[in-house]
Amino acid sequence: MKVAMLSPIAWRTPPTHYGPWENVVSLLTEGLVQRGVDVTLFATKDSKTRAKLVGVCPRGYEEDKDLLPKVWECLHISEVFERGNEFDLIHNHFDFLPLTYMNMTATPVVTTIHGFSSLRILPVYKKYDGRAYYVAISEADRNPQLHYIGTVHHGINLSQFHFQPESGDYLLFFGRVHHEKGTKECIEIARKTGMKLIIAGIIQDEDYFRHEVEPFLDNNHITYVGSAGPKKRDDLLGQAYALLHPINFDEPFGLSVVEAMACGTPVLAVNRGSMPEVINHGHTGFLVADADEMAQVIPRVREIDRRDCRRWVEKRFTVERMVDDYIHVYEKILAGENGNRKNSYQEV
């Protein structure tokens, strides 16, 4: 089986710090290579992989502001589809834009929909529904107007996350500093409970950071430590009392939630989107209605056995399970290649 893996180019694959989609692409690519699948990774030129690497864009455009994103996105995507007939399958992780290139090749295209940034992008997915194959990353993120070949939850490399049997004394926010992720709410919870809060992640909304976060930073009770690479991420997640996830949107998946539990750290999350699929309520954390309830359940974190958090991830969210699921998807697509694609849609 020859697979063309199309990664985004906002960041390197795998990313050095932030880049959740690129991170998933890297884990899947390396896992497939380990299984003997012939993978060609289309990513930035500075990406690292054991697969064959094809790069057009020199580095991630979020890391080099001299690169005009649309120019390099077009060159990057066209490189895959101009060579499409060299492969048995193209796996698109680049959102909706590559679907508009599908007529350049007869090779089937499977698209992992990593979430809908807006319902305004839905017309593209609807146009190619039945010609492309769609994979959801959670049951909650399936759009009822589309057909899916299956749902594949993300997996993580457990060797990158070390279990910490003892909890620390601080609350942790880990993710994009943005209203959607609830950074402001984490600060409110820390002030209500009197617990220390560490904020880690890229600043995605500068105005939000300046008005809702920065005025409360004191480098003692509430601290912002920036984006965290693998080692720092492992330490921050593992040594926390709890990860706070007071989201203000329907989260499609939530990698940091799984990563925290892999370290043994319970997660408190607003019960929206995929959170009921990711968190085992009462056993690996708590699902709550809002930030006020989250503050109230902080003392109950002590009821959680940190070993249960690790076991939950080992059972459900490993990279090995993710690779198995995608191989199953690929086999179904290739088995139905000669038939009508809409009729070949089945659940994995």
Distance of CA 132 to the CA centre of its chain: 21
Question: pLDDT 10s digit of each residue in the chain, 348 long?
Answer: 999 999 999 999 999 888 899 999 999 999 999 999 999 999 999 999 999 999 999 999 999 999 999 999 999 999 999 999 999 999 999 999 999 999 999 999 999 999 999 999 999 999 999 899 999 999 999 999 999 999 999 999 999 999 999 999 999 999 999 999 999 999 999 999 999 999 999 999 999 999 999 999 998 999 999 999 889 999 999 999 999 999 999 999 999 999 999 999 999 999 999 999 999 999 999 999 999 999 999 999 999 999 999 999 999 999 999 999 999 999 999 998 433 344 334 444
pLDDT at position 18 = 86
Which CATH architecture is the domain 158-316 placed in?
3-Layer(aba) Sandwich (3.40)
pLDDT at position 56 = 98
Burial class (CB in 10 A: 0-12, 13-18, 19+), 279: buried
pLDDT at position 340 = 35
CATH number of 2-155+318-344: 3.40.50.2000
pLDDT at position 161 = 97
This prediction's pTM = 0.93
Count CB neighbours of 45 within 10 A.
Answer: 13
- The beta strands (E) that lie in 159-271 are given as 170-174, 196-200, 222-226, 242-245, 267-270
CATH code 3.40.50.2000 region(s) in the chain: 2-155+318-344, 158-316
Closest residue by Cα to residue 261 from 343, 168, 161, 336: 161
Which ranges of 17-89 does DSSP label H, i.e. alpha helix?
20-34, 69-82
- The DSSP letter of residue 298 is G
